Amino acid sequence: MIKDEIIKKFMESSVLINKSGEQFADQIINISKILVNAYKKGNKVLVAGNGGSAADAQHISAELVNQFCKDRKALSAIALTTDTSVLTSWSNDKSYDSVFERQIEAHGKPGDIFIPISTSGNSKNLICAVQKAKQLGLISIALLGRDGGEMKGLSDYEIIIPHNETSRIQEVHRVIYHVICELVEKEF
C-alpha cells in the first residue's frame, strides 16, 4: 500500500513536469534570452521567495554565481532571502511585507532582473517587491503556482504551474530554473 502511494507521487510529479515542459518551453527559451541580454549589459539577478521558495531563490543564485554544468565566469545574482540582519531588523522595525521591497530599492538598478517565486502567488512581501522593481525599471520574471494568485499579471513575464499541491509546484519550478540556468550558462 505504501509502495503504491510512493509510485503514485512519482508519477504525478513526472506527468506535471512533462506537461509543463511542453507548455512552457517557449517561455523558458525567451526568459533565458532575457537573462543573457541583461548579463551582457552588466546587470544582475535578484531572487526572493518564502519558505521552500526562499531555498529555491538561494539555489538559483548559487547556480548563477558559481556554475551549473561547466566552468565559466561568475554571473551576478543575489538571493534576497539570505541576509538575516537585514531580514530581521527591517521586519522587526518596519514590516515583513516590505522586506524584499527594501532590498530591491538598495540593490536594484534599471535593467536588472527580479525573480519572485511563490507557489500561491499571494505573498504580500513579493507583491510589494514586484511593484518596487517595476517602479525602478527592473524586469520581473515570476515563478508562480496554482492560478497565479494576486501576483498574476504583475510581472513582465511569468510562468504559472496550474497545480494546487505546493510540493508538486516546487518540483516543476526546480526543473524550470535548472533548464534556464543551463541555457544561460551556454552563452558564457
Report the CATH superfamily, name and number, of domain 33-186.
Answer: Glucose-6-phosphate isomerase like protein; domain 1 (3.40.50.10490)
DSSP state of 138: P
Q: What is the pLDDT of residues 70-89, one digit of tens each?
A: 899 999 999 999 999 999 99
Residue 141 CA: distances (Å) to CA of 13, 60, 138, 160: 23, 13, 10, 11
Give the neighbor-by-neighbor strand order of the sheet with 45-49. 77-79, 45-49, 113-118, 139-145, 157-161
Q: Confirm if 108 and 136 have CB atoms less than 8 A apart.
A: yes
Whole-number average pLDDT of the chain: 97
Candidates 128, 138, 142, 129; CA nearest to 177 is 142
Q: How far apart are CA 21 and CA 13, in angstroms?
A: 12
Q: What is the pLDDT of residues 152-164, one digit of tens each?
A: 999 999 999 999 9
Given a cut of 90, is residue 1 above it in pLDDT? no
- Domain ranges in the chain are 33-186
